[in-house]
Amino acid sequence: MEGLRVNFHTFGGEVKALDGVDLSLRRGEVLGLVGESGSGKSVTALSIEGLLPGNAEVVGGRILLEGRDLLKEKPGQLRSERLTKVAMVFQDPLTYLNPVLTIGSQILDILETDRRAFTHTVATARLQELQAAGGARTLTEAETRERERLQSLPPDGVLGKREFKRLARSYVVATLRSVRLPEPERIFRMYPFELSGGMRQRTIIAMALVRKPTLLIADEITTALDVTVQAQILELLRELKTEIDASILLITHDLAVVAEVCDRVAVMYGGNIVEVAEVNELFKDPLHPYTRGLLAAIPRPDAARGELTSIKGSVPNLIHPPSGCRFHPRCPQAFERCPLGKPPPVEAKPGHLVECFLYGG
């Protein structure tokens, strides 16, 4: 993401939600995006998914996915790129699951939306299944014929409707199993209300994984869950991190979640990325005054009794954002230069970027 700027047109005025966001995600890494509510984390994610509401406008910047600018793609091409490459998991699974359809049919729906795009995904899954079976026993004649047919499928080949549905069904069951859901065959036939909160969240993760995305965006996925289930979902993410060939953008306001699963972390404030570093480095040596404030605000059970530390003031009004560094009205280290211009990103240490006038001379 390079210099991404997004405005919202509202009755109160123009909300400058993203003010030139630069962010990069490496293949296979988990990047945490943290910040207070209203800092622009979810708008960043929705921009990538193309799910911004009608009153939002991208007024500048680029979103490059494997070198292609998503903002310049034609609508049809864009839909297909996003369908197969970017998947998003949201906070509240009940909002995104259809209450009157079974779990299985909802996930099958995604694959059947574009048989051409997903033919190779389901065919490869079936081939792997047959190969595994072939290693344990002799394949039947029908299975051998099926294997040969799938192996000879051309790169642009499309499976017939019936065969696609049959293979997609077993692929969906396998995906439900991969997110550690017990009895996936039974869950395939169940309705959302029959599942617990944690199982629903696993279902939503399976719904995202079934597309074999290059980028998985997880937006506050543990926030609505109780602590025990939260720990189970984080454990699942940690395991999936090594199993799936995808980059994960993990959006959260919870620094403990970041410490558990992320490789790097980006801190957002008032529509800007203000600091990016490896997780251990950021916790050991936070540079930006806002990051320091966030870390100092984590309650510690071993601390002496007294008042909890907090960052004074509140998030800025983005219709009339503060001039210069948007954090200056709340910053304990602000000086004359801070309201005069936006601080540029500075690599204060190798791989540790910060946007603050205290660094880079």
Residue numbers at the binding site for ligand SF4 (CB under 6 A): 288-289, 325, 327-328, 331, 333-334, 338, 343, 356-358
Quote the CA–CA distance of 180 and 166 in Å, as a whole number.
22
Quote the CA–CA distance of 27 and 37 in Å, as a whole number.
27
In the complex with ligand SF4, the residue whose CB is nearer, 161 or 337, is 337
Q: Where are the alpha helices (DSSP H) in 210-307?
A: 227-243, 255-261, 279-284, 289-296
Quote the CA–CA distance of 162 and 170 in Å, as a whole number.
13
Q: Work out how close the CB of 334 gets to ligand SF4 at its nearest, in angstroms, rounded to a whole number.
A: 4
Q: Work out how close the CB of 262 gets to ligand SF4 at its nearest, in angstroms, rounded to a whole number.
A: 23
Classify residue 170 by burial, with Cβ atoms within 10 Å: 0-12, 13-18, 19+: middle
- Rounded to the nearest 10°, the torsion over CA 134, 136, 142, 148 is 0
Classify residue 256 by burial, with Cβ atoms within 10 Å: 0-12, 13-18, 19+: exposed
Q: Work out how close the CB of 327 gets to ligand SF4 at its nearest, in angstroms, rounded to a whole number.
A: 5
Classify residue 23 by burial, with Cβ atoms within 10 Å: 0-12, 13-18, 19+: middle
Provide the pairing of β-strand 247-252 with 30-34. Answer: parallel
Task: Output the six-digit token pair for 43.
Answer: 């708008």
In the complex with ligand SF4, the residue whose CB is nearer, 271 or 343, is 343
Amino acid 118 reads F
Q: Work out how close the CB of 330 gets to ligand SF4 at its nearest, in angstroms, rounded to a whole number.
A: 8
Quote the CA–CA distance of 310 and 312 in Å, as a whole number.
6
Q: Work out how close the CB of 5 gets to ligand SF4 at its nearest, in angstroms, rounded to a whole number.
A: 19
In the complex with ligand SF4, the residue whose CB is nearer, 128 or 323, is 323
In the complex with ligand SF4, the residue whose CB is nearer, 61 or 289, is 289
Please, are residues 77 and 193 in contact by the beta-carbon 8 Å criterion? no
Q: Work out how close the CB of 127 gets to ligand SF4 at its nearest, in angstroms, rounded to a whole number.
A: 54
Amino acid 264 reads R
Q: Work out how close the CB of 78 gets to ligand SF4 at its nearest, in angstroms, rounded to a whole number.
A: 36
Classify residue 126 by burial, with Cβ atoms within 10 Å: 0-12, 13-18, 19+: buried
In the complex with ligand SF4, the residue whose CB is nearer, 24 or 323, is 323
> Which runs of E-coded beta strand occur in 109-258?
215-219, 247-252
In the complex with ligand SF4, the residue whose CB is nearer, 193 or 335, is 335
Among 198, 181, 220, residue whose Cα is nearest residue 89: 220
In the complex with ligand SF4, the residue whose CB is nearer, 257 or 325, is 325
Q: Work out how close the CB of 246 gets to ligand SF4 at its nearest, in angstroms, rounded to a whole number.
A: 34
In the complex with ligand SF4, the residue whose CB is nearer, 147 or 288, is 288
Please, are residues 187 and 203 in contact by the beta-carbon 8 Å criterion? yes
In the complex with ligand SF4, the residue whose CB is nearer, 153 or 315, is 315
Q: Work out how close the CB of 112 gets to ligand SF4 at its nearest, in angstroms, rounded to a whole number.
A: 50
